[in-house]
Structure 1
Amino acid sequence: MSTELESRTVPPYNHFTQIGDPVLRIRAEEVQPECVDSQEITGIVDQMVKVLRHYDCVGVAAPQLGVPLRIIAMEFREEKREQFTPEVYQQRKMSTLPLSVFINPKIEVMSDTIHTQPEGCMSVRGFSGRVARYDRVKVTGIGMLGTPDELELVGWSARIAQHEMDHLNGIIYIDRMDVSSFTCITWARINSNGGRDAIMFDK
């Protein structure tokens, strides 16, 4: 088996695991202090950032790449603003978020204000649902790649953090969503194509 093929078939994957994979339903383990600076953890973090950017998404947790460890990465680049109308961008309280990587993160709710917005997940491809999340949170942990060890987030960035933290506890957004809002995001395209369509699991 070639090295390239092996890298695709053993964690950390270069794709997102999908709902049904047991790794998404277990509580991830903490990274032991003596391992934080290890080559293994560095490799996992590098792969997480690579996959995050390849799929042009805003967050990834290590379990989504098949690794049951408490590591998250988040990023909302300025270029993503073009993917939303100005009204949606403002209504969802979106803003840029520099690459932020945390090992053994913890989250603290900083406001009782809750917003309910459509939310999707790269591990539940092709669907979305409305989820209530706190408006302001603080994430603390071991910062990697220049990330501070404490970060206060508001609006959509706070939503990203809560979503990724859920992944570390075996929780997927469908567990929290308004069930009646669960939607196939390509339903209109499916209709216009006479039912001939497919959900792609790679970019």
Structure 2
Amino acid sequence: MGVTRKILNWYARIGPSHGKKLPPYEHVVQIGDPMLRKASEPVAVDKIKSEEIQKLIKKLKYVLDKYGSVGMSAPQIGVNKRIFVMRQTALQIASIPKESVKTRGITVVPFSVFINPTLKVIDYSKVTLSEGCESVQGYTAEVARYKEVEITALNAEGDSTSTKYKDWAARIAQHEMEHLDGKLYTDIMDRKSLQCIFWEEVNLAKGKLAIPFYPD
């Protein structure tokens, strides 16, 4: 209650219109934002090359890069459109313990844009691993995902593409597809596995620790 009151007092001081920006945002919205629970609307094919959609794609990449993420969907930056992007760089992989890279099947994924995507399960066997989300900052949980999927979609030029993903890349694709349907990993997680990734730091700081919602 005390923390909530401090936030409300801060919000009252700055006013609701202070620094207000319209979507697409340059930040990731958080769980509780109604946009994350809406089924996204398809993009008209003849609008893909429009300034609006191309701007949205560029903003998705901008936020993806800024947060150092591997996937980002339009709802996460406040836009109700069926578009997501994903990628996994060699630099990102280099920062992950080699054993985790091997066991999770993490590989380089080139930057890709998916418009009006559909998902087909190729391998119905499931793998359970810890998973997080930029829209649920500071927490992770165990989530079961299909081992291999195929994503069919239109790219940024409006051309049809079909790509198969396995292991970790398949997990990213499934995670982002769920965003477009108004779902979060918290809907299907092992509830007992949910944890704050900063729990140790909270204890060391005697509770005086702020969870960042925006990258430095």
Q: Give the TM-score range, shorter chain.
A: over 0.9
Q: Which residue of 1 aligns with 2:60?
A: 48
| 1:180 partnered with 2:192 | yes
Paired position in structure 2 for 1:37: 49
Give the aligned partner of residue 58 of structure 1.
70
Indicate which of 137, 148, 165 corresponds to 2:149: 137
9, 12, 33: which one pairs with 2:21?
A: 9
| SS across alignment from 2:65 | helix
Query: 1:10-62: per-residue Cα shift (whole Å, max 9, x none)?
Result: 10000000011100001000001121110100000000000000100100000
Residue identity matched to 2:188: R
Return the offset for 1:144.
Answer: 2.1
Q: Report if the CA contact (8 A) 2:45-2:158 is conserved.
A: no
Q: Give the total of aligned pairs.
A: 199
Task: Give identity over the alignment, percent.
Answer: 39
Alignment of 1:1-203 (within 5 A): 9-144=21-156, 149-203=161-215
Q: Which amino acid aligns with 1:39?
A: E
Aligned-partner Cα distance in 1 for 2:197–2:157: 34
Q: Which residues of structure 1 form unaligned runs of 5+? A: none
What's the Cα RMSD here? 1.8
Distance (whole Å) between structure 1 residues aligned to residue 120 and residue 151 of structure 2: 7
| Shift in Å, 1:7 | 9.2
Q: Distance in 1 between matches of 2:158 and 2:103?
A: 30
Q: Contact 2:202–2:208 (CA<8 Å) still a contact in 1?
A: yes
> Residues 8 and 134 from structure 1, CA distance in 2 versus in 1: closer, same or farther, beyond 3 angstroms?
farther
* Alignment check: 8 A CA contact 1:101 1:147 kept: no
Q: CA deviation at 1:83?
A: 2.3
1:189 is paired with a residue whose SS is: helix
CA distance, structure 2, for counterparts of residue 126 and residue 147 of structure 1: 37
How many angstroms does 1:82 deviate by?
A: 2.5
Aligned partner letter, 2:84: I
TM-score of the aligned structures, taking structure 2 as reference length:
0.88
Q: Give the Cα–Cα distance (whole angstroms) in 2 for the partners of residues 145 and 6 of structure 1.
A: 37
**Contact 2:125-2:147 at 8 Å conserved across structures:** yes
Per-residue deviation at 1:192?
1.4
**Unpaired segments ≥5 residues, structure 2:** 1-16
Equivalent position amino acid for 1:32 in 2 = A
- 1:183 is displaced (CA, Å) by 0.5
Distance between the aligned counterparts of 1:110 and 1:152, measured in 2?
A: 8
